[in-house]
A and B are shown apart, each in its own frame.
Chain A
Amino acid sequence: MCQNLAHLIPRTTPWQRCTYCRLTVRPAPAEVRRRTDYFGNAVQDFSIHKRHRSLRVSAASKVDVTARAPIVADAGLAWDVLCETVRRCATRSDLDAYQFCFPSRHVCLADELADYARPSFPPGRPLWDAVTELNARVHADFTYDPQATELETPCLDVFRQRRGVCQDLAHVLIGCLRSLGLPARYVSGYLRTESPPGKPRLVGADASHAWLAVYGGGAAGWRDLDPTNNVIPSVDHITVAWGRDYADVAPIRGVFVGGGQHRISVSVDVTPLDAPRAA
């Protein structure tokens, strides 16, 4: 018997629209409910009351993705000015963004992280410049290593050993930004499985992927960054959910009653159905 909470269906944003979604659970659950959580993510609740030895959850969805407008380095908006603006919470969007400046379950604030980030953030530098440089530095300095960490490995440990998976890199980069006072949130989603011809295959394409988004002020809004692949997410990244960190958007979470050990396996496939259209 188990009760579960899943974030598996992509949410609708200005650049992507989920036109079809289906969640299949075997054995058939006693109840399936959909709702929206505090962050606006689509949540699926289901519970199974029968005895079962295996649980299989499949989520299928069709998503329309449009390319996002390329970001021009903002000549005017300096990162330290943005920090102050956000802290004043003068507008609704600033207030909403402000909550992402604080430590959360998987992300801590620390001097070490701020010191690591500071070389990219001299006073007065435009935000987007600084942030993309830090993204590239994290990509270069950290090694992708699935064996190095576990779910509960603290953010600082990951930072010190410079190894981890996409989830860890996202947490570290979020930690660096938050330690400087900038709002950053965690994004979980899917990557296109087969990259277009001529482009290298993206890391993280066979399972859920994690990246982050940085707040650029009321006008610019939230903009995504992928430190694992050192890219700016666009049509190859499908956003499923966002929150303060992994704990808010775990693809599936559950409590069950039963005995013995259990194993989990995950696989994700993302294929384009149409040729990409111009934005």
Chain B
Amino acid sequence: WTDAPTGLGHALETRLVLARMFPGMIRECRIDRLAPFFVTLQQTLRSLAPAHRENPRIVLLSEGADSVQRFEDTYLARYLNFMLVESGDLAVRDEKVVLKTLGGLLPVDVIWRRMSDRVCDPLELPGDTSRGVPGLLQAVRASHVSVVNALGSSLVQAPALLPYLPALCQRLLRESLRLASVETFWSGTPLGQQTLLAAQGGLMFRAAFGAAGQCEVSPGDGRHEPNHVAELLRRDPYGLVAQQPPLSSTAPVKTSREHIVSAPLALRLFAVWSGTGYQVLPGGLARGLLPPVESGGAAARVTTRKDVWVVAAAEISDVSLLQSPHERITLRRGGAELPSRVADDMFWLGRYVERTDSAARMLRSLVARLAAETERATSPWLAPLLRTLVTEEHLPRELVTPDGNHLRTESEAAVALAILCVDTPQAGFLSCVDALSTTADRVRDRLSPDSWSLLHHLRGEYHAARGQRVDTLADLLTLFGNTIAALAAFGGLAAESMTRTQGWRFMELGRRLERALHTLVLVQNFLISHAGQSPTLLEMLLEVGDGLMTYRSRYLAQLRLAPVLDLLLTDETNPRSVAYQLAAIAQDVAHLPPSDAPALLSDEERLALNMLNSVRQVDLDMLEQAGQRSDRNRLERLLSRLTDQLPRLSDLVSHKYFVHAGSPRQLAEWHLHDRPYHDVRVQ
């Protein structure tokens, strides 16, 4: 494997775990340590920096949060003290690779890539745009960055080259291969073709240039027919190799049912270039294949992991990359340079948390009233609530009558299923929950395990409910109640346990923005577009805005318009009021990373202060007249101005801090003559 070998992190982790559990045994058996290998690895990577820079910046390029190798990448990055990045964090400027951070663009000298070279540059090697760094090939050509392993090294691991290795070794190094490989025949030579066609049984067939390990046809597979190979060869004469299936050595392995069985073992070893030669890891990754019966006959066979011990020949050096307890450590505040992508994701995490919370509250109130079967068709609060839900896309438009005043169906089951978006998984409230958990996955390593698992379980609950086709409103109520509780817990953890870093600040900013916007829209829909302030309407508004208890403690049972508006709009002691959000936004924006002109306020700071001041200048007259049609205009105008300015603030922040961090898209390739344009591949 020469492309992006995996398994090193697992080998290291296994050894560290065992070393912690059996330190005495390892010492007595005089097992060689793994650390010197990693020291060499670090040194080699440093020496590869172009122009032999002192203190080069080395990054570990990972495929992303969804990749199966994510754990390994994170583990290795932490152990070796390299920065873990994804393709979206890197860009090429002026043929140099840079890392996009909040503080600006930092140069990158060495990239340890943990993804296949074929997807490393979506500009020159068109394919998947979600991975890779556009322009990377050109940066490598210009020798401004070193990529390890070099791009193109995947060719060396092609099985088609295996039959030639002995002869190559003789020609290049004038010695024979020290470790013989499995006998391989390649269909690209006449002899190879004959062998493949003749000896059909007992040979294992693989793709000659594909990823190592892929099997086309193998004995005992059931798919094996004599004509199948001939057919494959005809279609692609150069594409097959045949190998004798290796006779595996075995080792005792414990199965899930606590038996000890003998299982075939696969051993993976690692070597790194040390400047003068190759240094081999005195250890490795060993995997035992459990017999298929044990794993329930599943197609993928379960493996167990074993550590590999090499008895040291000489004195064991006392090298360790883990910090020695006697070393003096410098204390730090604040995290390392925050990549723009993480800041973007934290901002949207805050927004989605708030969006889900407000939607759950509205839906809970709606469902509670519907389930109680009181005041259905003539309720004054129904129309504005439905309108808010539909505009914010938490309820499918088809569920509501065209005039927007009623639900189209009276059937409880139909309503419940529609809310859960059983038939349209991409729309509605569920898409909000999905967006929330997707964003949380992306910043999983920045959230505490408690926070992350809260959000993770939330998604699980919704998908379970959908799968079971929950159709009673009472069950929905429980679901929404749990949602609100989970999100409140998340908010609590963020307030009490998250360190006040820039990441936290962006998340807070997102939350405040979203809450302010939602409350404004709610107030507008409930009061301004709907004349009359019936007590039930005001009560619903307070319930959804989570201010009912406070209101009652201040004004007892009298539901009047002005106090309600005061509580929801202008009361800065109420964490749910618009004024509170705007004050918090102004604070957060003032603490964002400094701009180029620190003497004057930035655009976003000025906008935030502007909004805060206009809310602070609302007077009692405005609130009281809000109820009357004639003079309602002042408050209405203020609210609609704020509703316009808040998204603008979000845009300003995005363009200033996240503009580097958008997801890349492929320019629709030109078409000859007047063919209609191609749809863009959207992330």
Interface pair B655/A51, CB less than 8 Å apart: yes
Flag A180-218 by CB within 8 Å of B: 1 or 0 each.
000000000000000000000001101111100000000
User: Which A residues are CB-close (under 8 A) to B670?
Assistant: 208, 250-252, 264, 266
Scan residues 47-85 of chain A and give those whose CB is less than 8 A from a CB of chain B. Answer: 47, 49, 51
| CB proximity to B under 8 Å, residues A235-279 | 247, 250-259, 261-264, 266
Beyond A3-B135, A146-B675, is A262–B95 a contact (Cβ under 8 Å)?
A: no
Flag if B673 contacts A254 (CB, 8 Å): no
B674 engages A207 (CB within 8 Å): yes
Taking a contact as CB atoms under 8 Å apart, the answer to whether B680 and A254 are in contact is no
A-B contact pairs, 9 of them (CB 8 A): A2-B667, A3-B123, A4-B667, A146-B674, A146-B675, A206-B674, A207-B672, A253-B123, A255-B123
How far apart sit A248 and B671, CA to CA, in the bound complex (Å)? Answer: 14
Q: Does A167 contact B (CB under 8 A)?
A: yes
* Distance in Å: Cβ of A172 to nearest Cβ of chain B: 14
- Residues of A in contact with B (beta carbons under 8 Å apart): 1-5, 30-31, 33, 35, 45, 47, 49, 51, 109, 146-147, 149-152, 165-167, 203-204, 206-210, 247, 250-259, 261-264, 266
Cα A158 to Cα B348 in complex, Å, equals 44
Q: Which residues of A contact B667 (CB under 8 A)?
A: 2, 4, 252-256, 262, 264
Asked if B662 CB lies within 8 Å of chain A CBs, one says yes
Nearest Cβ distance between residue B625 and chain A, in whole angstroms? 40
Report if B460 contacts A (CB, 8 A): no
* Smallest CB separation, B188 vs chain A (Å): 11
Q: Is B134 an interface residue (CB 8 A)?
A: yes
Contact B659 A51 (CB under 8 A): yes
Pick from B126, B235, B666, B673: contact of A204, CB under 8 Å = B673
| A255-B122 in contact (CB<8A) | yes
Contact A254 B666 (CB under 8 A): yes
Which of A33, A208, A257 is within 8 Å of B665, CB to CB? Answer: A257
Q: Which residue of A lies closest to B142 (CB)?
A: A33
Which residues on A sit within 8 Å (CB–CB) of B396?
Answer: none
Which of B93, B126, B678, B680 is within 8 Å of A30, CB to CB? B93
- The residues of A that contact B675 with a CB separation of less than 8 Å are 146-147, 149-151, 165
Which chain A residue has the least Cβ–Cβ distance from B670?
A: A251
Q: Which of B93, B662, B673, B676 counts the most chain A CB atoms within 10 A? A: B673
Q: Return B659 CB to nearest CB of chain A, in Å.
A: 7
Closest residue of B by beta carbon distance from A208: B672
Contact of B22 with A by CB under 8 A = no
The chain A residue with its CB closest to the CB of B121 is: A255
Residue B668, interface by CB 8 Å: yes
A256 in contact with B126 (CB, 8 Å): no
Chain A residues contacting B662 (CB-CB under 8 Å) are: 1, 257-259
- Shortest beta-carbon distance from B616 to chain A in Å: 34
Contact residues in A for B673 (Cβ distance below 8 Å)? 146, 165-166, 203-204, 206-207
Contact partner of B669 among A166, A253, A259, CB < 8 A?
A: A253
Assess whether B664 is interfacial by the CB under 8 Å rule: yes
